Chain A
Amino acid sequence: MNLPSFRQSLSTLAIYSTLALAALVALGPTAWVMLSSFKTARQIFSGSGLLPSPFTLQGYVDAFAQVRLHEYLLNTLVYAAGGTLGALTVATLAAYPLARYRFAGRNTLVALISLALALPVVGLAVPEFFIMRALGLFDTKWGLIIFYSAQLFPLSFVILRSFLLSLPTDLEEAALIDGAGYFRIVLQIIVPLCRPALATAAVVAFVIIWNDFFFANLLTTSQENQNAQIALAGFRSQFRFNVTGALAGATLVMLVPIVVFLALQRQVIAGLTAGSTK
């Protein structure tokens, strides 16, 4: 036997075993729970069999009929979409002048906003709650949209500004010479140019807001304003003994960001690496 090629196939085997193990550990428990959402409660609690037998969709029916999961999902969508849109709009408006113009306080402002990225925000829980209440935003949909816009503003800002810094300024200068106004430049030149950066920031912001439990739990109290993560945490009580319904609901709530990620992998990856290494 040819020794080098044997060693090579041995190392290939090692590499693929490592990868397979990593994949299994990463997704195994989740996949098992997703699979269990098609089982009956009796099978789940008896712990017998990896595959559903009998196979049932009752959990999914219950998730909508009993817990009204669609209402929570809709709320979560409103927050994720609204918060993302808000954060991106505000961040674009702020990133452009802070990337292109020099004025007093500019560097301080940029440093402050970037520093906020490094804040463990849970530390701010109590004051955030207090401020939301003082502004009359507590436990309202608009309140949460505004709050998430603010939360995701620093991240979007950093991604957009570093992208803008890497762009040449020719187009804007040409437009300025043509006499275009400030906001026309932002709207007609900057936004189209920033599309890749906007897309990455959008996907990341969307997923982060979609998955938020801490602030949704802190800042809302009525059912009509709560998001799917809270519903998840409360499933066991909500459903009482309908464990299949809980697992079905969890599966659906997990699937949304997974699908977004799989569909927009490139943007997510670009966004995360841009936001972190730049």
Chain B
Amino acid sequence: MIRSGMRLPIALSLAPGVALFATFFVVPFALLVTSSFSEWSGLEFRFTGLENFQRMLADFVFWRAAGNTVFYSAVGVFVQVPLGCLIGIILAQKIRGWKVFRAIIFVPWVISGAAFALVFSMFYNPRFGLLNDILALFGFASRHDWLFDTSTARFAIAGTFAFVLGFTMIVVMAEIASIPKELYEAAECDGAQGWRLHRYITLPLLRNAIGTCVLIRLLSDIGLFDIVYILTLGGPNDSTVTLALYGYRAYLSGEWGFASAIGSTILLIGLVLILSVSRLFRLGERAQ
């Protein structure tokens, strides 16, 4: 409980944080929800009920965007996170050179989406890009246009982030470092070795860490924007479009209410995912 003399300083101390938070999170959130049910162009504002959502659900591009967003999230969860775990488990053994590998593999995580987009627009280019040159070395010579062929475009986009393993890697490494050594020693006494050791000791104990990585990955994939916007604008034939880009298009054409409805949908999906992932991985509870 607070001594009365402390009330004022505590209030003063909380004020800036509360003010910033209210202005840039609470109010925008309220605005977003309200305008989702309206027609709003910046000039005029008119309530239209569920019209925006009806229109959105009837638009096949929305379903394509939702489908792609699910696809990108799946790549994050089922490719990136497992690979990151694998690397993390390997490096946690502190094998020779682990610091160098950790640094190299982590670096892409600090590179911006805009820079990555430029890198991959060169890398995938069918005339002078590196990818086709590499494939030619293995006997697959072609001039395939990875980004602008509907059959490969979304894979090409996913390829830009599927191998950014750094985050999962270090979270896993940190979690392993906190596992008491005695656990392993006991298991070794019982005859467990090598990968079996990890299968039965490490992985179960990583539940919390993996759940966190899945969650963070999902959150950033739901909002995927930079790379797609800069590389393909969502094309060809909307095969790479994401929900965030779909919303941005609505914003560009001046339909702010519609854009807000899409924004609300993104937040709603985010919320559902957080809850279900937390449930699934029982996040917050420590491993037994």
Contact = CB atoms under 8 A, between A and B. Distances in A.
A and B touch in the complex (CB under 8 A): yes
Interface residues of A, number: 89
B260 interface: yes
16 contacts: A22-B87, A23-B104, A29-B120, A32-B130, A33-B123, A89-B16, A94-B13, A96-B13, A120-B223, A120-B244, A123-B247, A153-B21, A213-B113, A253-B115, A276-B212, A276-B216
B127 A47 contact: yes
Contacts, number: 267
**Residue from A103, A183, A273 with most neighbouring chain B CB atoms (10 Å):** A273
A182 interface: yes
Nearest to B269: A120
Contacts of A36: 122
A46 to B, nearest CB: 7
Nearest to B283: A277
Contacts of A235: 118
B223 A122 contact: yes
B251 interface: yes
A210 to B, nearest CB: 7
B34 to A, nearest CB: 9
Interface in B84-125: 86-87, 90-91, 95, 97, 101, 103-108, 110-120, 122-123
A18 B113 contact: no
Contacts of A127: 27-29, 31-32, 35, 260, 263
Interface string B168-179: 001100110000
A6 interface: no
Interface in B211-236: 212-213, 215-216, 219-220, 222-223, 225-226, 230
Contact of B212 (A19, A44, A277): A277
Interface of A: 11, 15, 18-19, 22-23, 25-30, 32-33, 36, 44-47, 89-91, 93-94, 96-98, 101-103, 109, 112-113, 116, 118-128, 130-131, 135, 146-147, 149-151, 153-154, 157, 181-183, 186, 207, 210-214, 229-230, 232-233, 235-236, 246-247, 250, 253-254, 257-258, 260-262, 265, 268-269, 272-273, 276-277
Contacts of B24: 128, 131, 147, 150-151
Given A27-B107, A30-B108, A116-B25, A230 B270 contact: no
Contacts of A44: 122, 128
Contacts of B219: 118, 120
Interface in B40-54: 42
A131 B212 contact: no
Contacts of B127: 45, 47
Given A131-B27, A150-B21, A261-B110, A125 B259 contact: yes
B163 interface: yes
Contacts of A269: 106, 170, 174
Given A22-B105, A149-B20, A214-B226, 13 more contacts: A27-B108, A29-B120, A93-B17, A94-B16, A96-B13, A116-B25, A125-B263, A130-B42, A214-B225, A229-B112, A233-B230, A247-B118, A260-B110
A-B pairs with lowest CB-CB distance, top 7? A47-B128, A94-B17, A182-B9, A211-B112, A127-B28, A150-B24, A120-B223
Interface in B130-159: 130, 133
**Residue from B31, B107, B212, B256 with most neighbouring chain A CB atoms (10 Å):** B107
Contacts of A130: 31, 42, 256
B119 A93 contact: no
A146 B21 CA distance: 11
Nearest to A19: B101
B56 interface: no
A185 B115 CA distance: 43
A38 B14 CA distance: 51
Contacts of B87: 18-19, 22
A164 to B, nearest CB: 13
Contacts of A260: 110
A226 B104 CA distance: 30
A182 B1 CA distance: 15
Nearest to A15: B90
B280 interface: no
A253 B117 CA distance: 13
Contacts of A46: 128
B129 interface: yes
Given A232-B118, A269-B174, A277-B208, A23 B247 contact: no
Contacts of B265: 123
B117 A233 contact: yes
Given A96-B13, A127-B35, A149-B20, A257 B110 contact: yes
